[in-house]
Amino acid sequence: MSNEKLMLVDDEEGIRRFLGLTLVDLGYTVQTAENGQAALELLKSFRPSIILTDIKMPQMDGIELLKTVKREFPEIEVIMLTGHGDLDLAIESLKFDAADFITKPINDEVLEISLVRILEKIQMKNKLREYTENLERLVDEKTQRIIDLERQTAACQVIEGLSTALSNASNEMEDDSGLFNELPCLVSIHTRYLEIVAANKLLKERLGDVIGKNSFDIYSDRTSGANACPVQKTFSTGKGQRSKETFLGKDGEEIPVTVYTAPIANKEGEIELVLDISVDMTELKRLKDELLTTQHKFERLFDEAPCYISVQNKDFSIAEVNRRFKEDFHDAPGSLCFRTYKQSLEPCAECPVQLTFQDGESHQMETVVTTKKGEQKNMLVWSAPIRDLYGEITQVMEMSTDITEIRRLQDHLTSLGFMLGSMSHGVKGMLTALDGGIYRLESGLRKNDQERIDAATAVLKNTVGRVKKMVLDILYYAKSRELELESVEASTFLNETVMLVEPKAKNAGLEININIPEKLGTIKIDSSAMSATLVNFLENAVDACDKPIEGRKHSIGFSASLKEKNLIIVISDTGIGMDQDTKNKIFTLFFSSKGKKGTGIGLFISNQTIEQHGGKIEVESELGNGTVFTITLPCTV
């Protein structure tokens, strides 16, 4: 059993937890770190003899950690942990004075052999340093001889004390009293003839009456002298043993144990007895199984949560994500959150993850993200801190709920309220006009004035027509308006539509580059609604080219083509363009990049119209480099 200090460095918490248990079981004093940077910080307070580190980790990998440790603490031995695909890196690490490397998954026996070999190396180095430091004292042989004799005398006294203590322990175990009977371990004493001469109360309860039996008899897998047990190995080597074995219970059940043996010598230095102390691993195994079950349970809850969940580091890199996140976004552990969610180059303003790292509180925000399929979603984002045993925030969990449908409903209701408010004054004016028309009609009827009757009738017809149009507009926003579909020849429709915007483009000094083939077939559309939609995009293109850019002459493009039974319409401009955040929000109700010049309604309605026709819009834009809208509509031919 080793009393050496050991540091375990790995970015996977599961490996740190379970491998740490194994290392503690091997007798090491263990502390862990999640990456190379954290390991160097830990070295200020914890100086291990051995560092066991993974090669691939965020912030600082294992190779860089190895170089730094060997430069600043050359006495520390470093073992590299690597996957089969990283063998080249592992071999390279040997060039930088790594003591050994072990491939994952880690085999306990391979790990133990490697650690034993390195401990022997450390012991040799320590002895060499000790001999070097004591070289001057070795000159005085006489003094050294006196010291040796004193040591021999002390050793004899220790052996006598041990013999007495062992004899007392044996008597205590026979009387079911004393320290060994209080220990929660299975304790037995064996002679050089491999006979059990004493056992504590707990061992007798678990294995039955074993006094007088052969040392092999308590093991379930040791049936002959050729298959040596730890007690026999201790007599043959003169050294204490540690191994994982299986005892045979009194009812035939198998009991997994970790066996520790210690030789007890007589005055002549010969091994007289062996003390066997074994720890029952059944409870530890049960706890490990329970821990794994609990871990799997929480992993399932994590994966099945009806929202997007990511665990992020302080540098915004993603450490873990749930299944739903993987389905809708690129699964790239280590990638930055804002790049994965928004394809942005900078973190969000008032980022909840950053705020949680700063104050340890939960924060929320609402934002728009883009999935790997190009879909834009409104998200309500919550952040929550993840703390270690010391209460320090190590990571932050971010939970994002899709509220796109809620926002669409709110936009629709808001739009309805906006339109009702803006039309209220118009309605009031039309009601006044109706009152005036009725008054004039009644006056004409009383006076039998046909001219006044005709004028009043005209006013009433005109006002009723305006009321009808306004009611239809209100119904358009209050519920989905039924499209008045008709089959139109695509080329003719597109040419007529672009001509509507040509005067505005010429007044702005712009030329529209038109590329519309003659035979594009027919499309089934609401020509009035679709014409208004395309005109809206073209007028926005003209507005985007309003500001001149030095060395560039602005232009607008309008083209159409057929692709896989779809009509593809491309509207482009070389204007001011948009940043990623603006591009994410352009189809949101009341969002406008034109300031007071825009209402924020046009593109919202245009997007709805195209979706009603079974089509879709794709946007490509870069700030200062123009914009391209690609509209896809199903066609009938």
**Tell me: the pLDDT tens digits for 390-423?**
888 999 888 888 887 777 777 666 655 655 555 5
Q: Which CATH superfamily, name and number, covers 159-281? A: PAS domain (3.30.450.20)
- Domain 407-478 sits in CATH at 1.20.5
pLDDT tier for residue 160 given thresholds of 50, 70 and 90: low
In the chain, domain spans: 5-133, 159-281, 305-402, 407-478, 486-634
Find the mean pLDDT for residues 91-120: 87
165 C-beta neighbours (distance < 10 Å), count: 12
Q: Are 467 and 448 in contact (CB under 8 A)?
A: no
Find the mean pLDDT for residues 551-575: 88
Q: Which residues contact 477 (CB under 8 A, 6 or more apart)?
A: 412, 415, 416, 419
* C-alpha span between 82 and 449 (Å, rounded): 104
Q: What is the pTM of this model?
A: 0.34
DSSP 76-114: SEEEEEE-GGGHHHHHHHHHTT--EEEESSPPHHHHHHH
What is the token pair recorded at 278? 């074994």
Nearest to 495 by CA among 528, 524, 464, 517: 517
Q: Are 574 and 626 in contact (CB under 8 A)?
A: yes
Nearest to 556 by CA among 591, 508, 604, 491: 508
* C-alpha span between 20 and 550 (Å, rounded): 64
Instruction: Give, as one character, the DSSP assignment of residue 480.
Output: P
* C-alpha span between 631 and 313 (Å, rounded): 39
Instruction: Give, as one character, the DSSP assignment of residue 482.
Output: P
* C-alpha span between 421 and 509 (Å, rounded): 37
Burial of residue 72, with CB atoms counted within 10 A of its CB: 0-12 exposed, 13-18 middle, 19 or more buried: exposed
Q: Which amino acid is at 90?
A: A
**159-173, 242-256, 487-501 — which is least confidently predicted?**
159-173
Paired residues of 199 in beta bridges: 188
Q: Are 112 and 119 in contact (CB under 8 A)?
A: no
* C-alpha span between 24 and 6 (Å, rounded): 9
Cis peptide before 105 (omega within 30 of 0): yes
Q: Which amino acid is at 390?
A: Y
Counting Cα atoms < 13 Å in the Cβ hemisphere of 459 gives: 19
Nearest to 581 by CA among 271, 350, 274, 300: 350
Element containing residue 6 per DSSP (H, E): strand 5-9
* C-alpha span between 332 and 335 (Å, rounded): 6
Looking at residue 385, its pLDDT comes to: 92
What is the token pair recorded at 159? 């052996």
32 C-beta neighbours (distance < 10 Å), count: 20
* C-alpha span between 48 and 125 (Å, rounded): 15
Q: Which residues contact 505 (CB under 8 A, 6 or more apart)?
A: 511, 512, 538, 542, 556
* C-alpha span between 444 and 421 (Å, rounded): 35
Counting Cα atoms < 13 Å in the Cβ hemisphere of 234 gives: 28
Find the mean pLDDT for residues 472-478: 51
* C-alpha span between 635 and 209 (Å, rounded): 91
Nearest to 49 by CA among 122, 102, 147, 112: 122
Secondary structure of 314-332 in HEC code, one letter for each residue? CCCEEEEECHHHHHHCCCC
Give 510 or 552, the one with higher predicted confidence.
510
Looking at residue 171, its pLDDT comes to: 54
Looking at residue 630, its pLDDT comes to: 93
Longest dimension (CA), the chain: 151
Nearest to 342 by CA among 377, 317, 313, 315: 377
Looking at residue 153, its pLDDT comes to: 56
In this structure, the chain runs to a length of 637
pLDDT over threshold 70, residue 596: no
pLDDT over threshold 90, residue 301: no
Per-residue pLDDT of 522-542, as tens digits, reads: 888 888 888 888 888 888 888
Q: Which residue has the tokens 């491998």?
A: 19
Nearest to 556 by CA among 543, 547, 566: 543
Looking at residue 413, its pLDDT comes to: 66
Say whether 305-402 and 159-281 share the same fold.
Answer: yes
**21-25, 167-171, 440-444, 463-467 — which is least confidently predicted?**
167-171
Give me the long-range contacts of 59-65 (CB less than 8 A, separation at least 24). Answer: 59/35, 59/315, 60/35, 60/36, 61/36, 62/9, 62/36, 62/93, 63/89, 63/92, 63/93, 63/96, 64/36, 65/9, 65/36, 65/39, 65/40
pLDDT over threshold 70, residue 235: yes
Q: Which amino acid is at 387?
A: R
Looking at residue 145, its pLDDT comes to: 64
**171-185, 310-324, 367-381 — which is least confidently predicted?**
171-185
Element containing residue 117 per DSSP (H, E): helix 108-133
Q: Which amino acid is at 629?
A: F
Sign of the Cα torsion 19, 22, 23, 24 reads positive
Please report, in angstroms and rounded to a whole number, the separation of the first and last CA atoms in the chain.
Answer: 82
**190-194, 471-475, 557-561, 563-567 — which is least confidently predicted?**
471-475
What is the token pair recorded at 412? 């629709």
What average pLDDT does the chain have? 80
Strands 100-103 and 627-634: unpaired
Per CATH, which fold does 486-634 belong to? Heat Shock Protein 90 (3.30.565)
* C-alpha span between 77 and 54 (Å, rounded): 14
Q: Which CATH superfamily, name and number, covers 305-402? A: PAS domain (3.30.450.20)
- With b for 16 or more beta-carbon neighbours within 10 A and e for fewer, the 229-245 pattern comes to bbbbbbbeeeeebbeeb
Domain 5-133 has CATH 3.30.1360.10: no
Looking at residue 158, its pLDDT comes to: 47
